[in-house]
């Protein structure tokens, strides 16, 4: 890849920024030389109930893994996110909400947010939810999602938000794994003019998971949905009847704050556990720094509440700082493809944070929908979730940002809780496609396959040498998997699962996952999870799923499917397989291509040779490398012949 151009910090920006180039260099050096001292100072950002006496107690050694931050301190997340802003901001908007239908708008002030959170916290207590219990939240992007999260943490309960695009089966899996007691959902969601049947999905999930004693249902659309007396209660009625004050409980810094599921390289989703003190310190302070937020700025992150991006930098980050943010329920292309730009204009958004896949899809609509709106309020743009290709970066910078806004390309993960690499605006000039430099206190290392650290410009596996406060502490009910996945591959280090290169200026470029995870439109999907969903169809003998380059999604889902003997290939069956995946996981996992494979290429030990399947899927037939290990070479020839005959959007070498 050629070296990208450098975009200096825009004139005038650095003068007002929280961090300039000199401050970045000095603070970064200090933060890695005295990591404890640095984070100790950062922790003053929060209100603590019991002050901590120890900052950091961490070790990445496999036999002695410890990730503990501020361990003997106590605090309450909802107090820090809401109560402490009330004296100055009770009447100031905390949330500017717009529904899928542009005519639906609501402003929620800090005072109103506090009132709803207190009341819902009392409702939950009344339903028997106690400190440490898990509440699953399956809601669209509506203010009640924020209220629900805050109500949980006010009483020390642990929220587990499940993306509202996940199917009933995926929801049931996550409820079961978390052993949730209460579910909070809505009658329906709305996306792109269509209804999302949340209550129906919830009811189906609960046919299987009967341990959930109560379901709190938000009336979002007013649709007539089934209601189970004794189990279900309406949110609005329960909140109206509840007592208006609920004192925030003292929670240990190392007590869990939330669980969030993500895909890994085995079939079962991982419930990453985040704890309270460290997560809030890192989230609150980094949000302010990386988006260069100043009092009065309006922030908008487009992520759905079901993902870590929304947890950290749409909900907790702005709330901890008392910032006003936009919440939008819908999609960028409905009613038309200027929807996002109209929202930026309407709410005078100053800081806008989204994903490369959305930028690529809006780029296809041309500049006209953007030009129709006044985006002069924008000052900082952000990108997250997948590598941003330089072409999309330049369009975002020039057309959306008018050439004057720095782009913070933030690299992090569900596991990392908060940002690890990013070009802090005002301090680090941008290079399109590069995720910048380490955040304060963060020590990235690039290692080769033998775990040797590579110095200077290098390419290899991206690891981190030391802990940071927002790091996930474990996988719920499976600490062994936590150790095996993140700490065993490169002993002494945290392994991200990503490949990366570092250039001569110390900028990092993420090349993508090096494990069995694919990144589709910024969503992580485990190939094994997809394969199990496909193989659960009775006609399927075996399936192998790989990612392939997709012009909008970054990666698309390419499924090779072997049918059971005697079953004929048909378009009908192809449709059933696609539906099976949507039912098992959700629409985000829809296979882009299903190619029939009478057999899959395997080595003599029976292991599927994914490298060959990935290359064929990408239309890269030139060099399959060493194929001498393939047990049956005719299988490869057949795969290639069928792939050549297929039309695949965007892949190289399409016939």
Site string for ligand PRX, 402-431 (x = CB under 6 A): -------xxxxxx-----------------
List CB contacts of 71: < 8 A, sequence separation 6 or more: 52, 54, 57, 252, 253, 254, 277
If binding is defined by CB under 6 A, does position 516 make contact with ligand PRX? no
What does DSSP say about strands 270-275 and 474-475: parallel, antiparallel, or unpaired? antiparallel
Compare residues 304 and 498 and give the one whose CB is closer to ligand PRX.
Answer: 498
Radius of gyration, CA atoms only, the chain: 24
Q: How far, rounded to the nearest angstrom, does the alpha carbon of residue 489 sit from its chain's CA centroid?
A: 23
Compare residues 321 and 413 and give the one whose CB is closer to ligand PRX.
Answer: 413
Q: Which residues of 377-398 are buried (b: 16+ CB within 10 A; e: fewer)?
A: ebbbbbbbbbbbbbebbbbbbe
Closest distance between ligand PRX and the C-beta of residue 347, in Å?
Answer: 24
**462 neighbors 500 (Cβ within 8 angstroms):** yes
If binding is defined by CB under 6 A, does position 262 make contact with ligand PRX? yes
As a three-state string, the secondary structure of 606-621 is: CCECHHHHHHHHCCCC
| Cα end-to-end span (Å), the chain | 25
Residue selected from 274, 524, 553, 584 as contacting ligand PRX according to rule CB under 6 A: 524
Name which of 148, 172, 174 is nearest 159 in CA terms: 148
Q: Which stretch binds ligand PRX (CB under 6 A): 52-60, 170-178, 378-386, 614-622?
A: 378-386
If binding is defined by CB under 6 A, does position 308 make contact with ligand PRX? yes
DSSP-based three-state secondary structure for 218: strand
- Phi and psi for 345 in degrees, rounded to 5? -65, -45
If binding is defined by CB under 6 A, does position 357 make contact with ligand PRX? no
The footprint of ligand PRX on residues 456-515 (CB under 6 A) is 496-498, 510, 512-513
No. of helices (H) and no. of strands (E), the chain: 22, 32
If binding is defined by CB under 6 A, does position 386 make contact with ligand PRX? yes
Residue selected from 435, 530, 545, 593 as contacting ligand PRX according to rule CB under 6 A: 435
Compare residues 251 and 472 and give the one whose CB is closer to ligand PRX.
Answer: 472
Closest distance between ligand PRX and the C-beta of residue 429, in Å?
Answer: 17
Closest distance between ligand PRX and the C-beta of residue 528, in Å?
Answer: 17
Residue selected from 58, 471, 519, 532 as contacting ligand PRX according to rule CB under 6 A: 519
Closest distance between ligand PRX and the C-beta of residue 485, in Å?
Answer: 12
Q: How far apart are CA 437 and CA 568, in angstroms?
A: 53
Compare residues 315 and 594 and give the one whose CB is closer to ligand PRX.
Answer: 315
Q: What is 12-71 written as a DSSP string?
A: THHHHSS--HHHHHHHHHHHHHSHHHHHHHHGGGSPPSB--S--EEEE--GGG-EEEEST
Closest distance between ligand PRX and the C-beta of residue 209, in Å?
Answer: 24
Closest distance between ligand PRX and the C-beta of residue 524, in Å?
Answer: 4
If binding is defined by CB under 6 A, does position 385 make contact with ligand PRX? yes
Closest distance between ligand PRX and the C-beta of residue 500, in Å?
Answer: 9
Looking up tokens 């204009």 gives 345
Closest distance between ligand PRX and the C-beta of residue 494, in Å?
Answer: 12
Compare residues 309 and 485 and give the one whose CB is closer to ligand PRX.
Answer: 309
Which positions touch ligand PRX (CB under 6 A)? 262, 308-309, 384-387, 409-414, 435, 496-498, 510, 512-513, 519, 524
């Amino acid at each position: 890849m050629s070296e990208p151009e450098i975009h200096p910090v825009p004139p005038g920006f650095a003068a007002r920024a929280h961090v300039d180039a000199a401050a970045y260099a000095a603070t970064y050096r200090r933060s890695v030389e005295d990591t404890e001292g640095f984070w100790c100072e950062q922790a003053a950002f929060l209100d603590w109930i019991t002050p901590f006496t120890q900052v950091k107690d961490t070790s990445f050694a496999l036999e002695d893994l410890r990730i503990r931050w501020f361990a003997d301190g106590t605090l309450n997340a909802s107090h820090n996110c809401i109560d402490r802003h009330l004296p100055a901001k009770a009447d100031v908007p905390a949330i500017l909400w717009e529904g899928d239908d542009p005519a639906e708008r609501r402003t929620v002030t800090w005072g109103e947010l506090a009132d709803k959170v207190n009341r819902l916290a009392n409702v939950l207590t009344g339903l028997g939810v106690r400190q440490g219990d898990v509440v699953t939240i399956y809601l669209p992007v509506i203010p009640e999602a924020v209220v629900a999260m805050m109500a949980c943490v006010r009483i020390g309960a642990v929220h587990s938000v499940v993306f509202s695009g996940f199917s009933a089966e995926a929801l049931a899996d996550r409820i079961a794994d978390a052993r949730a007691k209460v579910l909070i959902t809505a009658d329906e969601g709305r996306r792109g003019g269509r209804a999302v049947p949340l209550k129906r999905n919830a009811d189906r999930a609960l046919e299987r998971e009967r341990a959930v004693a109560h379901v709190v249902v938000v009336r979002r659309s007013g649709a007539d949905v089934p209601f189970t007396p004794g189990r279900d209660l309406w949110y609005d009625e329960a909140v109206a009847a509840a007592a208006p004050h609920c004192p925030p409980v003292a929670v240990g810094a190392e007590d869990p704050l939330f669980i969030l599921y993500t895909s890994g390289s085995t079939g079962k989703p991982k419930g990453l556990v985040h704890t309270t003190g460290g997560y809030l310190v890192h989230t609150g302070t980094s949000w302010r720094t990386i988006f260069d937020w100043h009092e009065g700025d309006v922030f908008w992150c487009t992520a759905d509440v079901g993902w870590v991006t929304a947890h950290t930098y749409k909900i907790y980050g702005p709330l901890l700082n008392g910032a006003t943010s936009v919440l939008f329920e819908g999609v960028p292309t409905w009613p038309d493809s200027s929807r996002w730009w109209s929202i930026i204009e309407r709410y005078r958004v100053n800081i806008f944070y989204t994903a490369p896949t959305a930028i690529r899809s809006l780029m296809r609509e041309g500049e006209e929908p953007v030009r129709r709106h006044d985006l002069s309020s924008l000052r900082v743009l952000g990108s997250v979730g997948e590598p941003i290709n330089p072409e999309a970066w330049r369009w975002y910078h020039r057309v959306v940002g008018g050439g004057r806004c720095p782009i913070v390309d933030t690299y992090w993960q569900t596991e990392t809780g908060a940002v690890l690499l990013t070009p802090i605006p005002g301090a680090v000039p941008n290079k399109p496609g590069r995720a910048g430099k380490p955040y304060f206190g963060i020590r990235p290392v690039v290692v080769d396959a033998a775990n040797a650290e590579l110095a200077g410009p290098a390419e290899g596996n991206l690891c981190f040498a030391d802990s940071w406060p927002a790091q996930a502490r474990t996988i719920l009910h499976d600490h062994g998997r936590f150790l095996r996945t993140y700490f065993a591959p490169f002993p002494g280090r945290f392994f991200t699962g990503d490949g990366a290169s570092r250039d001569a200026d110390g900028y990092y470029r993420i090349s993508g996952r090096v494990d069995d995870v694919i990144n589709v439109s910024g969503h992580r999907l485990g190939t094994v999870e997809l394969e199990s969903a496909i193989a659960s169809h009775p006609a399927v003998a075996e399936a192998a799923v790989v990612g392939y380059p997709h012009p909008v999604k970054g990666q698309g889902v390419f499924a090779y499917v072997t049918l059971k003997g005697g079953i004929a290939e048909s378009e009908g069956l192809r449709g059933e397989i696609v539906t099976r995946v949507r039912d098992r996981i959700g629409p985000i996992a829809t296979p882009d291509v299903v190619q029939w494979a009478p057999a899959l290429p395997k080595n003599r030990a029976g292991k599927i040779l994914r490298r060959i399947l990935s290359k064929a899927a990408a239309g890269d037939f030139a060099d399959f490398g060493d194929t001498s290990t393939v047990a049956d070479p005719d299988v490869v020839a057949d795969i290639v012949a069928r792939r050549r005959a297929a039309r695949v959007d965007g892949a190289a070498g399409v016939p």
